[in-house]
Amino acid sequence: MKDKVTIIIADDHRIFRKGLKALLSEKDNIQVMAEADDGDQALEMARKYKPKIVIMDIGMPKMDGIEATRQIRERLPETEVIILSMHAKKAYIDQVLQAGAKGYVLKDSDEENLIAAINTVYNGGFYLDSPIADQVLSDYFGGSTRRELKEQADPLSEREKEVLKLLAEGHSNQEVADILCISRKTVENHRAHIVRKTGVQGQVGLTKYAARIGLINLDLWD
């Protein structure tokens, strides 16, 4: 039988804490071992029970969730922390991640998000709720928006991909124009945009790039 995920819930709102305990206790693979209503008690309960995971609020009396996370991670390296908070501000996110939390879920998220976070962290991964992940990625990529991040990872438009695929397959500019029912000048413009966006040049470079992003399969040409 698979070991249960042992958990301590730390939150200073009793009704919320009891509701969360009832929710998690319904899961066959989860065992709630204790509850804490402030950071000091969270640390005390963690030292006593040595749970796999502490689900931690940030704003608690005596010791806040950030400091409690830091101390738990320092003293109990086998115990992971998932932050469950209403705060989505970047300042909080940075602090709890630096303190050693492996997950961050917002309190208004669906139940499935918290369960996914528990399972992911228990199995050695990191879990960030979608709005939190957006902020972390945006900061990492210099403040880029979700759309800008997508464009960085996939810079070509659908039409440019069509043109690139045909060029990579060995068609001339005129042949591409005829196939797509556009002018040769338009094909030349698309080709110039592809070169500018990707930095590749020449037939070999275009072919290799098309293969790398999955437009063609070079193995079929062997």
Domain residue ranges in the chain: 5-140, 154-213
Residue 109 amino acid letter: S
CA–CA dist 73, 85 (Å, integer): 18
- The CATH number that domain 154-213 falls under is 1.10.10.10
- Using one digit for the tens of pLDDT, what is the confidence trace for 53-99? 999 999 888 889 999 999 999 999 999 999 999 888 777 888 888 99
What is the third-level CATH fold of 5-140?
Rossmann fold (3.40.50)
Q: In this structure, what are the phi and psi dihedrals at residue 116, rounded to the nearest 5 degrees?
A: -65, -40
Establish whether domains 5-140 and 154-213 are of one fold: no
- The answer to whether 109 touches 83, Cβ cutoff 8 Å, is no
Q: Is the pLDDT of residue 144 over 60?
A: no
Q: Can you read off the two tokens belonging to residue 17? A: 């804490």
Q: Can you read off the two tokens belonging to residue 155? A: 């810079």
Mean pLDDT of 179-183: 93
Q: Is the pLDDT of residue 148 over 60?
A: no
In this structure, the number of other CB atoms found within 10 A of the CB of residue 156 comes to 20
